[in-house]
Structure 1
Amino acid sequence: MFGNYLDGEFGNSGVISAFPDPDRHEPATPERSPEGRRKYRTIWISDIHLGTKGCNAELLIDFLDRVDSETLYLVGDIIDGWRLKKKFYWPAAHNDIVWRILKRAKRGTRIVYIPGNHDEMFRQFTGLNFGGIEIRRAAFHDTADGRRLMVLHGDEFDTVMLSHRWLAFVGDALYHFMMGLNNWVNAGRKALGLPYWSLSRMAKHKVKNAVEFIGKYEEVVARAAAERGVDGVVCGHIHTAEHRMIDDIEYWNDGDWVEGCNALVEHADGTMEILHWPEEIARREAQEAAEAEAAATPAAVAA
């Protein structure tokens, strides 16, 4: 069913329709052992945009190989159908991400997929189960400490998406141009041994109109959550990881894997936090370097 539909959607490429079977295929990037992974009760990720050059696939693979959870929410824009229709792009690393997600489902992780506007083609399958993945239009999540959270992508509250869909496509083209610049900048930084840095994220926080839009968007989403009688809301869509109280509603945005490379996690006791994965990698590499230096010092002294 999915294969035939996606073949038609993306020009009979046959690539996405042939999602990797984790029981029969191995990923191009070998998976790290599941042993020793950081354990969470719940993980939320969104806005991966598989099928675009802006997707930070290597960082996401590193994340998926180092964390685990009882439940994983995929909060929309996992695949970028808008871009794939214009130009097909699907490197091995993107298949490796799909492989890792399907492998989690095989191992017993509950996975809930809430399609967004860029992967809206999957919304017609709402209510079905695909490879152990539940496809929902929205969901409600009960935390370990008793809070009830509404989970949805969030494009439902984007005035540009609702009123001027053509403008959303124009904005998407400009955004991906910025992502191209971002890739060039970070290729140079990587060559110089510098950590990942988001050009578009910096620009977004400097532009007054973008800041005002984000603030208004958060308030509209929180108001919708209040009307549904929940304690809080988790969404994605605007590529801006955030946590704040808006009146009595707890607003969470789990960020993205194009700009910030963020994830939202719930610990066993119900406490939640946003992970900024480039910072996690920088801390880990600094610790490994310090440990290597400490181990080398006694040998140098003995010599």
Structure 2
Amino acid sequence: MKLHYRSIWISDTHLGTRGCKAEYLRDFLDHTESDYLYLVGDIIDFWKFKTGAYWPMLHSDIVQRIINKAQNGTRVIYIPGNHDEVFRKHAGMHFNGIDIQLNAVHTTEDGRKFLVLHGDEFDSIVCHNKSLAYIGGEAYEVLLLVNRWFNAVRTRLGYKYWSLSAFLKHKVKNVVSFMTNYQHILSLEAQKRKVDGIICGHIHHADIATMEFGKTYCNCGDWVESCTALTEDEHGTLSIVRWLEDSHVLLDDAVSEDTGLAQAA
């Protein structure tokens, strides 16, 4: 059973790192299909390759699944981020059925227009101090490693997954202030580009919110902590799917709905 969406956006999978929750991402790709699939940056983490390559077969499986979708009718648009910025010089190219673009404008089924971009171009730390951003990325990897061991103990004790890094993000005042400023800057860009909203990634925090000027802010999250995606249904409604928490319920509901339709027929 597969869940069908009109559009799916995923970002910050960071393939090529040990922090990537690749098994959940592969499961998500196996159980979903869509007319449009947007890869909203930091899909492959080339920064991490500087300190040694890590590329298990599971990560190759994910790349192959995306290519298979592109070759079987899904329009796949790859918008590189800062960790995979090497692909930005190939913007405008078509590779294995995948379109590489610096950004895109997506029109939802209900007629709204959204600017789709990774979002690092609006992050002053990344734009003006790449060495500091790289050091921050290394510290983040350590935090994820601690988080993995912490949750292994929680699982043995019968507790659900809990993200230490996400908790720290929301408790640190400066980080909360950064997220607010980030949304403010993106609302100005949406106003400038005359679109109804922005869809981005980069800050690893899935969210749908109303910004200034009535613009809609959507962030599809990440696949190193929250395992989240942004989706659009056949009516144009945007939602966040939290695969760690929602997968069983969504798949069970889909099976029930399919069974009900079969019985009615």
**TM-score (norm: length of structure 1):** 0.80
Shift of 1:283: 4.1
Residues in 2 aligned to 1:127 and 1:214: alpha-carbon distance in whole angstroms: 31
* Partner in structure 2 of residue 253 of structure 1: 219
**Equivalence map 1:181-200=2 (5 Å):** 181-200=146-165
Shift of 1:194: 4.0
- Going from structure 1 to structure 2, the CA distance change for 1:196 and 1:92 (only over 3 Å counts) comes to farther
Give 5+ residue unaligned stretches, structure 1: 1-35, 289-303
Shift of 1:235: 0.3
Residues in 1 aligned to 2:211 and 2:196: alpha-carbon distance in whole angstroms: 11
Equivalent position to 2:141, from 166, 173, 176: 176
Question: Between Structure 1 and Structure 2, whose CA radius of gyration is higher?
Answer: 1
Residues in 2 aligned to 1:84 and 1:190: alpha-carbon distance in whole angstroms: 31
**Equivalence map 1:267-282=2 (5 Å):** 267-281=233-247
Percent of paired sites with the same residue: 50
- Going from structure 1 to structure 2, the CA distance change for 1:133 and 1:179 (only over 3 Å counts) comes to same
Residues in 2 aligned to 1:118 and 1:190: alpha-carbon distance in whole angstroms: 31
Q: What secondary structure does 2:47 align onto?
A: helix
Shift of 1:195: 3.5
Residues in 1 aligned to 2:250 and 2:6: alpha-carbon distance in whole angstroms: 22
Tell me if the contact between 1:195 and 1:278 (Cα under 8 Å) persists in the aligned partners. Answer: no
- Going from structure 1 to structure 2, the CA distance change for 1:104 and 1:194 (only over 3 Å counts) comes to farther
**Equivalence map 1:1-303=2 (5 Å):** 36-247=1-212, 248-281=214-247, 283=249
Residues in 2 aligned to 1:128 and 1:270: alpha-carbon distance in whole angstroms: 28
Q: What secondary structure does 1:81 align onto?
A: coil
Shift of 1:110: 0.3
Matched pairs, number: 253
Shift of 1:240: 0.6
- Going from structure 1 to structure 2, the CA distance change for 1:190 and 1:58 (only over 3 Å counts) comes to farther
Tell me if the contact between 1:51 and 1:89 (Cα under 8 Å) persists in the aligned partners. Answer: yes
- Going from structure 1 to structure 2, the CA distance change for 1:38 and 1:252 (only over 3 Å counts) comes to same
Residues in 2 aligned to 1:52 and 1:193: alpha-carbon distance in whole angstroms: 27
- Going from structure 1 to structure 2, the CA distance change for 1:282 and 1:193 (only over 3 Å counts) comes to farther
- Going from structure 1 to structure 2, the CA distance change for 1:140 and 1:130 (only over 3 Å counts) comes to same
**What letter corresponds to residue 232 of structure 2 in structure 1?**
E
Kindly indicate whether structure 1 or structure 2 has the higher relative contact order, using CA contacts under 8 Å at least 6 residues apart. 2
RMSD: 1.8
Tell me if the contact between 1:148 and 1:232 (Cα under 8 Å) persists in the aligned partners. Answer: yes
Shift of 1:50: 0.3
Moved segments of 4+, more than 3 Å: 189-195, 281-285
Tell me if the contact between 1:195 and 1:282 (Cα under 8 Å) persists in the aligned partners. Answer: no
**What letter corresponds to residue 104 of structure 1 in structure 2?**
K
Give 5+ residue unaligned stretches, structure 2: 254-265
